[in-house]
Amino acid sequence: MAPYQHTKEQGLRVHHLANLGGLLAIAGLDQQPPDLLLGAFLEIAKRLPELSAARIAEIASAGHAKLDERASAKRAWKSWQRAKDLHAVTLTSSQIARVIAALGGTPPRDTAQLPGAMAALLNWSA
């Protein structure tokens, strides 16, 4: 059975979701419990259609100002552009051990050392 491979679209989606998590951190909400955050987002989603265009513009302007303050808007855009060339791969310890063996190495017994051992065989930094 071939190892699972993420599609380009899945990688872009994961990167987009990670950026949304970054927005959560910028807003100072990253220490809140997940149930509270989801409840707050559900409340926002419910109320957003009820807001006037002027109020939505005010809220968006405040968000834009915060992004500009942190120079995040440019980084987020560049990151999104770079994500088009990224390929996510998730391997189990067993799969990494097989890659190491296929490259002519001996997999370490300690599974925590597997990524470093594979990186060394590939001349990558771990």
pLDDT, one tens digit per residue, over 27-61 is 989 889 999 999 999 999 999 999 999 999 999 99
Owner of token pair 């989606």: 13
Average pLDDT in the chain: 86
Q: 121, 95, 122, 91: which is closest to 106 by C-alpha?
A: 121
pLDDT at residue 47, as a whole number: 96
What confidence category does residue 13 fall into, taking pLDDT thresholds of 50, 70 and 90? confident
Q: 46, 35, 38: which is closest to 20 by C-alpha?
A: 38
Question: Two tokens at 122?
Answer: 């590939």
Neighbours of 97 (CB within 10 A): 20
